[in-house]
């Protein structure tokens, strides 16, 4: 009963009319000179009681419908297999190019479009995940908090098609992604899925702060690196020792930083949409631990149902009235 509420509670005052059928019958009265000559009629007495009850039920349903009765929004605990996943998407200019490193043409698609298509399929295959989305370029961009609402997740992924910006500030993007897990219960896996085609230098202060946050939030990290043709990958070691620095090889140094965090970490290097699909399928296979989550059940209007019951009871009363015996 705690979940019931009313849009117009003053209409409930009409329920006092339920007393009317108790004290007044709607059946036609017939006059007899001497009531003692009438035999006992249990069936008629039972029908009279049922008619009064039908009348009371019809009135109750009518006034409950007029009160705008509804069930409040509820949250129900569910158990499934999945994870809490924050998708952190790179929105630098290079993501709008194809894997060949140029503007898409013909059958080519941009790395950002390929990521959107595959992430949408990934979401469809994981019914129990709570998924949040953040982006980063010059600054981080909060897109959507952790939710199980798949329609909202699809809309948020589609919204990432806005034009990209110039720079890559990955440290602020990671900090925002980690903040999604604050005040969230630790249930199942906590995952950051980083999708980018490049990296940037992280200063020592930001590195120290990120180490603390990764340890506090107990996060698993997956990096899906979309490598442009003929560019060095995240696993490529420098041929010249003079290039062994974060400015010359930011992807390698970011990979080394992630590897040093002492958290579950896996990096995937994809040179085309097919390789991306295999990497996402692998993540889908790995991250299906038991997960407790709360599902929101929206407000449910009950007034239409009560109007239906009121109509049904009234039709029964009309039918009974038509069957009433009439005396000349």
Query: Which of 328, 309, 326 has the alpha carbon at shortest distance from 60?
Result: 309
Integer Cα distance of 255 and 235 in angstroms = 8
Buried residues in 86-125 as b, exposed as e (16+ CB within 10 A) = bbbbbbbebbbbbbeeeebeeeeebbbbbbbebbeebbee
281-296 pLDDT tens trace? 888 877 766 666 666 7
Whether this prediction's pTM lies above 0.85 is answered by: no
- Of 55-69, 97-111, 224-238, 274-288, the range with the highest mean pLDDT is 55-69
What are the pLDDT digits (tens) for 11-32? Answer: 989 889 888 887 776 666 666 5
| Collapsed DSSP state (helix, strand, coil) of residue 216 | helix
Q: Determine which helix (DSSP H) or strand (DSSP E) holds 14, and give its type and residue range.
A: none
Question: Which CATH superfamily, name and number, covers 76-295?
Answer: von Willebrand factor, type A domain (3.40.50.410)
Whether the per-residue pLDDT at 149 is higher than 80: the answer is yes
141 membership: H or E segment, kind and range: strand 140-147
Cβ pair 5, 70 in contact under 8 A: yes
Write down the domain spans for the chain.
Answer: 4-29+40-72+298-322, 76-295
């Amino acid at each position: 009963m705690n979940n019931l509420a009313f849009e117009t509670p003053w209409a409930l005052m009409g329920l006092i009319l339920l007393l009317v059928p108790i004290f007044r019958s709607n059946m036609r009265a017939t006059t007899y000179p001497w009531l003692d000559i009438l035999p006992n009629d249990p069936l008629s007495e039972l029908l009279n009681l049922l008619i009064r009850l039908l009348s009371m039920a019809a009135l109750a349903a009518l006034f409950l419908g007029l009160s705008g009765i509804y069930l409040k929004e509820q949250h129900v605990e569910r158990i499934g297999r999945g994870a809490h996943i924050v998708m952190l998407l790179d929105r630098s200019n290079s993501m709008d190019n194809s894997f060949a490193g140029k503007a898409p043409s013909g059958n080519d698609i941009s790395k950002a479009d390929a990521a959107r298509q595959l992430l949408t399929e990934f979401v469809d295959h994981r019914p129990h995940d709570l998924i949040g989305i953040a982006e980063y370029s010059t600054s981080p961009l909060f897109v959507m908090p952790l939710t199980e609402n798949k329609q909202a997740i699809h809309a948020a992924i589609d919204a990432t098609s806005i034009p990209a910006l110039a720079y890559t500030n990955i440290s602020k993007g990671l900090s925002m992604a980690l903040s999604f897990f604050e005040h969230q219960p630790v249930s199942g896996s906590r995952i950051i899925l980083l999708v980018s085609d490049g990296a940037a230098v992280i200063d020592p202060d930001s590195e120290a702060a990120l180490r603390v946050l990764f340890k506090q939030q107990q996060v698993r990290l997956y990096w899906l690196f979309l490598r442009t043709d003929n560019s060095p990958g995240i696993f490529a070691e420098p041929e010249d020792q003079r290039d062994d620095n974060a400015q010359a090889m930011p992807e390698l140094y970011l990979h080394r930083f992630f590897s040093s965090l002492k958290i579950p970490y896996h990096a995937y290097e994809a040179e085309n949409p097919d390789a991306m699909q295999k990497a996402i399928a692998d993540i889908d296979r790995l991250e299906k631990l038991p997960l407790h989550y709360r599902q929101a059940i929206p407000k449910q209007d009950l007034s239409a149902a009560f109007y239906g019951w009121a109509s049904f009871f009234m039709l029964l009363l009309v039918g009974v009235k038509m069957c009433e015996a009439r005396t000349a």
